[in-house]
Amino acid sequence: MERKISPLSSHPKGEDSTAIVQRSDRWPVDTPGGRFYAEWETQAPVTREGQLMFFFQFLEAGERWREFLADCPLSYEGNRGSGKLNVMGTLLLSVLCGHWRYAHINSVRGDAVNASLLGMGKIVSEDVVRAALKRMDEEQSLRWAQRHILESISPALGLPWILDMDTTVKCLYGHQQGAQIGYNPRKPGRPCHVYHSYFVANLRISLGVEVLPGKQHAAPHGMPGMWEMLEGLPRERWPTFARGDCGYGSEKIMREFEERGLPYLFKLRHTSKAKDLARDLMRQSDGWQDTGDGWEAAEAAIKLSGWTQRRRVVMVREAPAVAPVGEQARRRRDPFELRGGKGEKLEAQSAAPWSGRIAVLITSLDERDYPTTAMPRLYRDRADAENSYDELKNQWGWSGYTTQKLAPSRIVANLIALFYNWWNLYARFFDEHHHREAITSRPALMQGVARQVQSGGQRTLKVSLLHENGKEIALLVSRTSGQLHHMKAITERWSAQQKWALLLTRLLRRWLGGKWLSGLPPDAALLLSG
């Protein structure tokens, strides 16, 4: 006979099923390190960016976040809108976390700790942020973002400084407005947007960005935005001079600078007349001056065809003693390596086996203040602007946050530049001598598991650092937080501009050489005396 086997019940009679469910919340997990017990904690608010609390304290001490939201052009009708605080706070958290797509916003939606630190009611979704940027008026929003970008560094621009200008491209992979095939050195033929931007040299502080269609990559397309940015500053805060590559060394741009009385230092294209000048200078042996680092320079004044006047030109070459003269170097075809317009060898090359690099600089700087020997180093320092581009594109989201319409891309690019300035200034609390890129400053100054507990009406964040230098970081952050608390307590009756000027005086004291920024109350010295 076939035996019938009754199936076993999960919960036999007499066993309390409620107790089984409660015990299943904690279960054993066997690992190579031994047995552990796991359980889910769903009650206590937790964040993985626990140190953002101190960055928000920095914004509060300078009233940057409050001023930023006060005149934000985003508005909703009715009581069902998300509100500008929740939208802009969500975007700030996303950018600080290193995101570059709207879809990445979903990874911070469960962070209730940092949302409450910013005074937010909730973290909104990616669709809400994208829709909010689309509903903002483009012209009004760009003026709003540009004003806050300038205010983030304007009090410190009373001292001499240099303006660096350059362009970069942002590759596009869809059907976005303004996606055109223009100059794209990395991916030729790929549609792109062009970013014309401006920086405070050596500080890596952005002064704004102009996002244009891919075909408008030439330097003159970005000049209206640059002049509009400078006109937003008082004349006494304009730069000592501006620097740019060979794209800016044209008659139209140089005349604009000369008409406005702003000196410039550009690189000149390798035109036929520039090559003729190189041939004449190479024949001379007594006109070259040693500028250090294996370079020599000679000066002349020329007037190219299409120019309205003669201008100062500085020729820079590798010193013949260190220039390559091997057979491979002789065969190398450099765009400006002592060859004529048709590719023929110049007389200077046939007379001497010299095959080094040459650059032609055009400038309106006074020779008495900026001698010939100082020009090569002044121009080579412009290369630091490339580091700012690399950081903004690869670590701060300039290569992303793309929508089908061009206006939201323009707005978010300027907002990223503003958040980039805030973070870089905050990081100077911990390193006054060097700029720390986000790839190193974020793990050290932002990451850390924090759990929020509340007792007796007090909210406490318990932060656990995972960085290998956690003890040193905790000490520095605690000291900085104490300084910010001291500043906020004493400057309670100060205006937002005075508070921010004081913070800039503290953050840029190495760059300021110990000077105090103007506009501070007489008792400001009491803040840094302790």
Give the model confidence (pLDDT) of 362-398 as tens digits. 999 998 899 999 999 999 989 888 889 999 999 999 9
Domain-located, residue 313? yes
Q: What DSSP string runs through 183-251?
A: --SSSTT--EEEEEEEEETTTTEEEEEEEEETT--SGGGGHHHHHHHHHTS-GGGS-SEEEE-GGG-SH
Interaxial angle between packed helices 438-445 and 406-427, expressed in degrees from 0 to 180 and rounded to the nearest 10? 60
The tally of CA atoms less than 13 A away on the side-chain side of residue 437 is: 13
Answer yes or no: is pLDDT of 353 > 50.
Answer: no
How far is it, in rounded angstroms, from Cα 438 to Cα 416? 13
322: amino acid identity, one letter:
V
The tally of CA atoms less than 13 A away on the side-chain side of residue 145 is: 30
Q: In Å, how far from its chain's centre is CA 30?
A: 46
Question: CA nearest 434: which of 205, 202, 153?
Answer: 202
Domain-located, residue 376? no
Domain-located, residue 379? no
Question: CA nearest 385: which of 218, 167, 183?
Answer: 167
How far is it, in rounded angstroms, from Cα 373 to Cα 119? 55
Beta pairing, strands 458-464 & 46-47:
unpaired
Answer yes or no: is pLDDT of 418 > 90.
Answer: yes
Tell me if 358 sits within 8 A of 317, measured CB to CB. yes
Does residue 441 sit in helix, strand or coil?
helix
Range of the domain at 353: 264-363
Alpha helices in 78-156 (DSSP H): 84-96, 112-117, 126-135, 138-151
How confident is residue 334, by pLDDT bands cut at 50, 70 and 90? very low
Answer yes or no: is pLDDT of 509 > 70.
Answer: yes
The structure's pTM equals: 0.87
Answer yes or no: is pLDDT of 400 > 50.
Answer: yes
Domain-located, residue 502? no
57 or 528, greater pLDDT: 57
How confident is residue 348, by pLDDT bands cut at 50, 70 and 90? very low
pLDDT in tens, 133-184: 999 999 999 999 999 999 999 999 988 999 999 999 999 998 899 999 988 8
Answer yes or no: is pLDDT of 86 > 70.
Answer: yes
Domain-located, residue 155? no
Answer yes or no: is pLDDT of 104 > 90.
Answer: yes
Question: CA nearest 57: which of 483, 529, 472?
Answer: 483
Tell me if 177 sits within 8 A of 187, measured CB to CB. no
How confident is residue 1, by pLDDT bands cut at 50, 70 and 90? very low
Q: How many domains does the chain have?
A: 1
449-455 sheet: strands from edge to edge: 46-47, 449-455, 458-464
pLDDT of the residue at 278: 76
Answer yes or no: is pLDDT of 352 > 50.
Answer: no
How far is it, in rounded angstroms, from Cα 379 to Cα 266? 8
Cα–Cα–Cα angle for 316, 317, 318, rounded to 5 degrees: 140
Domain-located, residue 425? no
Answer yes or no: is pLDDT of 461 > 80.
Answer: yes
Answer yes or no: is pLDDT of 225 > 90.
Answer: yes
Domain-located, residue 465? no
The tally of CA atoms less than 13 A away on the side-chain side of residue 422 is: 27
Answer yes or no: is pLDDT of 357 > 50.
Answer: yes
Q: What's the whole-number mean pLDDT along residues 255-274?
A: 90
pLDDT of the residue at 351: 38
As a whole number, the mean pLDDT across the chain is 85
318 or 10, greater pLDDT: 318
Answer yes or no: is pLDDT of 339 > 50.
Answer: no
Q: Percent of the chain beyond pLDDT 90?
A: 55
Q: Work out the widest C-alpha separation in the chain, in whole angstroms.
A: 118
pLDDT of the residue at 340: 43
How confident is residue 24, by pLDDT bands cut at 50, 70 and 90? low
pLDDT of the residue at 346: 46
- Choose the weakest-confidence range: 114-128, 195-209, 293-307, 424-438: 293-307
Q: Which residue has the tokens 């140190």?
A: 51
pLDDT of the residue at 78: 72
226 or 458, greater pLDDT: 226
Beta pairing, strands 311-318 & 295-302:
antiparallel
How confident is residue 341, by pLDDT bands cut at 50, 70 and 90? very low
How confident is residue 11, by pLDDT bands cut at 50, 70 and 90? low
pLDDT of the residue at 285: 67
- Which residues are CB-contacts of 459 (< 8 A; sequence separation ≥ 6)? 452, 453
Element (H, E) at 266: strand 264-267
pLDDT of the residue at 19: 44
pLDDT in tens, 466-498: 888 989 999 999 999 999 998 898 888 899 999
Domain-located, residue 161? no
Answer yes or no: is pLDDT of 83 > 80.
Answer: yes
